[in-house]
């Protein structure tokens, strides 16, 4: 899947002390801020900084204000890794400069998930709406993410290939979407936050004349309605 993330970096070099952690001659104070594209703080987002030099990792998780602070060696380049739901971003570099004295550095990430994405590891019994056990991991992750983002409202969209009649495919897609909705409700997600809708075989993304295309078309999507 195409990685759809946006990253904004703000560098501030100062000699100011933090309220809790304080920079030293050998460790910079790195203040991390994570927001979405509407400048809303993103709580519970883990971010890891991996040293290009020695592969050591420095990480933290954002609080309710979308912030955390860590001490990290200066004068190094770091790979930045963070995750929004099940989408990884591993392509960002951060250079922390050298300094003559204690250095405080602020790094701001603007992170966003796609508005529509496929749950690639949600599976059903053939021709049925029975969720298979191997679906639990991804659905549990979705439930945890929704519990973290209390205002998130989604649509679960069911899709099929073109095997069978249009009527049977429509019903199957509706039943499968409903099965996912019920699973999320059992995990504590309020019913009004999840809509289930079936699209049958009307929105293919693959070639229904091939086995691979049919497999692509048999999918469960999440549509973000509001955040």
DSSP state of 17: P
- 155 vs 72, 79, 150, 203, CA distance in Å? 41, 34, 15, 15
Q: Is the pLDDT of residue 14 over 70?
A: no
Per-residue pLDDT band at 17 (split at 50, 70, 90): very low
- The residues, ordered by sequence, that sit 6+ positions from 73 with a Cβ below 8 Å of its Cβ are 26, 27, 28, 51, 96
Rounded Cα–Cα distance for residues 98 and 220 (Å): 49
pLDDT, mean of residues 33-45: 88
pLDDT per position as a tens digit, 144-195: 989 888 889 999 999 999 999 999 999 999 999 999 999 999 999 999 999 9
Count of alpha carbons within 13 Å of 135, Cβ hemisphere only?
Answer: 19
Q: What is the pLDDT of residue 90?
A: 67
**Three-state SS at 124:** strand
pLDDT per position as a tens digit, 85-103: 777 776 688 999 998 889 9
Between residues 112 and 109, which one has the greater pLDDT?
109
Taking alpha carbons only, the member of 170, 151, 160, 158 closest to residue 225 is 151
Q: What is the pLDDT of residue 16?
A: 40
List of E strands, 122-218: 153-159, 194-198
Rounded Cα–Cα distance for residues 74 and 103 (Å): 8
pLDDT, mean of residues 120-140: 95
Do residues 148 and 142 lie in contact, with contact meaning Cβ atoms separated by under 8 Å?
A: no
Residue with tokens 């992750």: 141
Percentage of the chain beyond pLDDT 90 is 71
Q: Is the pLDDT of residue 135 over 90?
A: yes
Q: What is the pLDDT of residue 19?
A: 52
Task: Extract the tokens encoding 28.
Answer: 């910079």
Domains annotated for the chain, with CATH where assigned, are 28-110 (2.60.40.1120), 116-226 (3.30.1330.60)
Q: What is the pLDDT of residue 91?
A: 63
């Amino acid at each position: 899947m195409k990685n759809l993330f946006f990253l904004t970096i703000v560098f501030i070099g100062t000699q100011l002390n933090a309220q809790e952690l304080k920079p030293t001659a050998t460790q910079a104070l790195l203040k991390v801020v994570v927001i979405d594209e509407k400048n809303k703080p993103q709580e519970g987002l883990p971010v890891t900084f991996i040293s290009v030099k020695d592969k050591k990792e420095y990480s933290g998780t954002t609080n309710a204000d979308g912030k955390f602070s860590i001490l990290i060696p200066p004068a190094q380049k770091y790979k930045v890794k963070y995750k929004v739901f099940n989408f990884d971003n591993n392509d960002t570099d951060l250079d922390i400069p050298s300094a003559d004295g204690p250095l405080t550095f602020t790094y701001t990430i603007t992170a966003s998930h796609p508005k529509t994405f496929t749950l690639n590891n949600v599976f059903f019994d053939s021709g049925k709406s029975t969720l298979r056990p191997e679906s639990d991991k991804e659905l549990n992750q979705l439930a945890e993410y929704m519990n973290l983002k209390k205002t998130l409202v989604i649509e679960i969209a069911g899709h099929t290939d073109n095997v069978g009649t249009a009527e049977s495919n429509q019903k199957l897609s509706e039943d499968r979407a409903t099965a996912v909705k019920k699973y999320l409700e059992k995990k504590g997600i309020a019913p009004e936050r999840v809509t289930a809708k079936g699209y049958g075989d009307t929105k293919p993304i693959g070639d229904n004349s091939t086995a691979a295309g049919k497999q692509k078309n048999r999918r469960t999507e999440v549509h973000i309605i509001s955040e």
